Amino acid sequence: MSDVMRPIKFKSLLRWMIDEYASQKSIFTIPEGKFYYKKDKAYFEIFGEKCETAIGPAAGPATQQAMNLAVSYLTGGRFFELKTVQILDALEVEKPCIDIPDEGYNTEWSTEFSVPEAFDEYVKGWFLVHILDKMLGISQLGERGFVFNMSVGYDLEGIKSPKIDNFIEGLKDASETEIFQECVRDLKAAIEAGRIPNISEPAFADSISPKISNSITLSTMHGTPPDEQEGICRYLIGEKKVHTFVKLNPTLLGYEYVQDIFDQQEFDHIQLKEESFSHDMQYDDAVTMIRSLQAYAKEVGVDFGIKLTNTLAVVNDRGALPTDEMYMSGRALYPLTVNLTNKLAQEFEGEIAISYSGGATYFNIEELFTAGIKPITLATDLLKPGGYSRLNQLSTVLERPMAENPAGGIDLKKLQSVAANSITDERYNKEAKPSAPMKTDEKLGLLDCFVAPCIVACPVHQDVPEYIQLIAENRFAEAYELIISSNAMPFVTGYICESACELKCVRNDYEETVRIRDLKRIASERGFDEVMSNLAPKVPHRDAKVAVIGAGPAGLSSAYFLGREGFDVTVFDKTDKIGGMVTHGIADYRVPDEAIENDIELVKKMGTKFELNCDPQIDVQKLKDDGFKYVHLAIGAWKSRDLPIEGETDKVLGAIKFLTQFTDDPTPIRLGRNVAIIGAGNSAMDAARAALRITGVENVYIIYRRSRKEMPATREEYLETTHDGATFHELVNPVSLHDGVLKCQQMKLGAKDASGRRRPIPVDGDFVNFEIDTVITAIGELVEYELLEKNELVPDEKGDIPVNEYHETDVENVYLGGDAYRGPSSIIEAIADGRAVAEGIIEKENVTHAPIKIADEYAFDSEKRFGEIAERKAELKPQVSLEEFDMDFSTAANRCLSCNIVCNKCVEVCPNIANLPIKVEGFRDPNQILHIEGLCNECGNCAVFCPYDSDPAKDKFTLYWTVDEFEKGHHEGYVYTSDNTLKMRHREDIYDLVLENGVVSFADASFQGSEEMHGLLKMISTVENEYPYILHLDPVV
């Protein structure tokens, strides 16, 4: 596979643009619904030119090709900072070069084209933008309302070279250049042929000004001395007579300031190099340079300003990119850039021109603009799902303030407030987004690859997007019905599920997850009565009887799914209540008793019988002798792990014992004034919140030997617990309890252990004391292995009980699931285990599943739904708050992107438009993905966002433009060898194909081929007939 992009000739780009719009109502993959039409004539002036929106793409991947510039304009960009050119234009760029797990990282600086090629791309882009404006009627101005801004680097010698000088002079006036004249000729020919809608006069081509850019944003290397930067600027201002902005680095804030911001915002995983700050320009030097250049520019008669900011050089310790150093951008950069912007604006009392780029997004762009900051350019935001189309929403957001005050200067008071808010706003805290990998473990297929990561992540694989769509349509009974097709406890999991689905929700790539768990609760509460009233009680009719030991989530789940298939199931429990730890260990303020009762009622509807207060000493053989063919041991993990502590151990209480007492009756419990909770899992948070509700308790301290980032509890559980009043103390480990004083060893973090978390190491001689009356330990629960061993279930050398995929043990017909198998685990994992046990028994008995309505059988208005999905794409929408959720759940439901129906992430995030959606009939997905080799530079961005553990640039079916590329390539795809012959690589083999009457088939008519291969032939035929504009594109040699 080549990582070299191939420039496309202007006439081919023009044909692609016109024909795609005519046939698909999209342009370069951007759907018509995302085109941004200016509604008024508002504009601001910059460099003596009119600019009708304040935003556009920053110098980077989004301004490298002509197509980039066209789609940026289509979606609302009007200020185009062209990708930087430099004299060294043949450098090898190591790939991948982009990594955006949340904040962005990159390892490239300038365009990957040669300087002459880059020049041609910018001229072609200039023409495409003019054509789009006229063809679609995008602007209301009646004249050009966009600005092209050159970006050059990196030293004076290189900028003075003939190569860069020709570039600058050529964009100042391109009239005599070959590419400009070629574009005029090809455009006139297309107009004369009647090819372009709404453009009929060939003179339109002559009306396009050859004066493409009169301004430059200067980029210099990190560490370039101030006098050298000033010298370059003086050359550009005085000799080249161009309006000049100089790009400055966030290092001007100083090492300690930046490190402090990262610590506050919990981006402390980003490793800085202090020498990057000490070797770079210092703040006072920058101020001196700016004052000098302001005066010089005024004298010459051109504009001068600053571009804030460059990326931040950091240590490359992620292992995703190949170099030692990488450059950070995006969300983590925003507080730095906006605070440096404020500092310099205050320094110059607002009398300074500032072009902004540094973490700008939907959530801050309006306040930046109303503080007087413009233009605002974006790079990282456009590389995330939604891609270029994100500009549409941003331009829409700025319409009102742009119309009210387009020429507004810097508002120092407002800017100061914006800067201060960036440090305290939770949105810019690292922990506001999940740190868990967004990818699934599955591999990408060549066809029908759309997947909803939430479904894959869910242990019971709930059809999340489908039941959310049913909720959005107020079809609550159907939503509840769909949920219980795979989940036996929808009410309980609607309150306290750990929600692995939400960690994988694609909305996290936009802003915040869809509140999937809360929507499940809504469906349950509003659909339960109708479903239950129509659900006839099941009557057991199978011969095989099943004994389930334990009435917790795992046991209830297996009972539910077995009962649904007609099995005779009896659940035995040692306690007096059904529900296991949910009933006995989780307080009703977290899960209402009514919710638990509703789930139990559902299980009982399946014909399940319950026997409570049973002998805890289980005898599997006796159960079999009593007629039970199958036994499911779902006994949980009810023993708290002992805390190794010296002193008054009588004041140490296990979390399970405490929570059981609390849920039974908290009234008689006495803990004293000060309580320590040891541990930081969800059980610890439960214990802390419960302790705060005990009479007499004033202080609850959560004591944890690792840092908060390593804690097992979810962020949500942690925030709820600290909101209730508990205080969290990290890196302390209890040693002894004497006379009401808990002595704790101070810890530090070392290397990662088997859990993937950093191992806590004692700090010699460093201790901290807490006044404590009662210690509650929540450091893990233990399975009663003695009971299992008594029934011939013996742990292996790892301490695990061996089971098969259905959780059947080595003892025939005896199954193990839930905490008894996993150790302490989540409720939904236990439910999944119970379902697996049921499936194992059902398979053993050769039972045909009773008809259950599955997701595909629910009817939706497909056209309406596809329209809604398209509208939601690239639109950032904040979560509905929990306080307003029950009144506004429909808004929450309408944030779902239905990724199982339409994914297209690789299409949206590719800056080069190298992944195309192809509508092929007869497939599950509405479109297939075709990768175009000649447009790909292996930047790696599609691999970052693909929900699979794969790289679409390497793993999707590929169109090669030349036989040479095909022969040198190694991944699956095809190439035309003549007008009607092709070659296709599938797996490791190459096949000859023929094209006859628009149908592509195997040249060897006797060859059968696989179903997948025939699907690929259908895709090739579709491209030939419906997408011919991407074939034979006549790339520039």
Query: Do residues 304 and 319 share a domain?
Result: yes
**Using alpha carbons only, how large is the chain's radius of gyration in Å?**
32
- Choosing from 756, 780, 804, the residue where a domain stops is 780
Which residues make Cβ contacts (< 8 Å) with residue 593, sequence separation at least 6?
A: none
pLDDT digits (tens, 9 = 90+) for 246-296: 999 999 999 999 999 999 999 988 999 999 999 999 999 999 999 999 999
Which regions of the chain are under pLDDT 70?
1-2, 1034-1037
Residue 997 lies in a domain: no
Tell me the CATH number at 269: 3.20.20.70
- Choosing from 728, 756, 780, the residue where a domain stops is 780
- Choosing from 429, 445, 474, the residue where a domain stops is 429
Residue 14 lies in a domain: no
Query: Do residues 352 and 478 share a domain?
Result: no
Query: Do residues 591 and 631 share a domain?
Result: yes
Domain tally for the chain? 4
Tell me the CATH number at 765: 3.50.50.60
Residue 395 lies in a domain: yes
Nearest CA-CA partner of 366 in 331, 410, 399 = 399
CA distance 338 to 787: 62
Q: How far is CA 934 from CA 388, 953, 962, 1016, in A?
A: 20, 11, 9, 20
Query: Do residues 689 and 708 share a domain?
Result: yes
Query: Do residues 529 and 650 share a domain?
Result: no
Residue 486 lies in a domain: yes
Query: Do residues 562 and 650 share a domain?
Result: no
Strand order in the sheet with 353-356: 55-57, 376-378, 353-356, 304-308, 243-248, 215-218, 147-152, 79-81
Tell me the CATH number at 464: 1.10.1060.10
Query: Do residues 734 and 799 share a domain?
Result: no
Amino acid at 635: I
Query: Do residues 390 and 500 share a domain?
Result: no
Residue 252 lies in a domain: yes
Burial of 489 (0-12, 13-18, 19+ CB in 10 A): buried
Residue 748 host element (H or E): strand 741-752
> For residue 101, what are the β-bridge partners?
none
Report residue 233 as tokens: 């600027």
Residue 400 lies in a domain: yes
Query: Do residues 751 and 788 share a domain?
Result: no
pLDDT of residue 676: 98
Helices (H), 886-927: 889-893, 905-909
What single string gives the DSSP state of each residue in 27-90? ETTEEGGG-----S---EEETTEEESSSEEEPSSGGGSSHHHHHHHHHTT--EEEPPPB-S-TT
Residue 388 lies in a domain: yes
pTM: 0.93
pLDDT of residue 448: 96
Query: Do residues 813 and 867 share a domain?
Result: no
CA distance 758 to 753: 6
Domain of 130 in residue numbering reads as 35-174+214-429
Residue 898 lies in a domain: no
| Block residue for tokens 């072609």 | 124
pLDDT digits (tens, 9 = 90+) for 697-725: 999 999 999 998 889 998 889 999 999 99
Query: Do residues 816 and 836 share a domain?
Result: yes
Query: Do residues 490 and 563 share a domain?
Result: no
Work out the angle between the directed axes of helices 516-534 and 464-472 (0-180°, nearest 10): 70
The alpha carbon dihedral of 784, 786, 791, 793 has a sign of positive
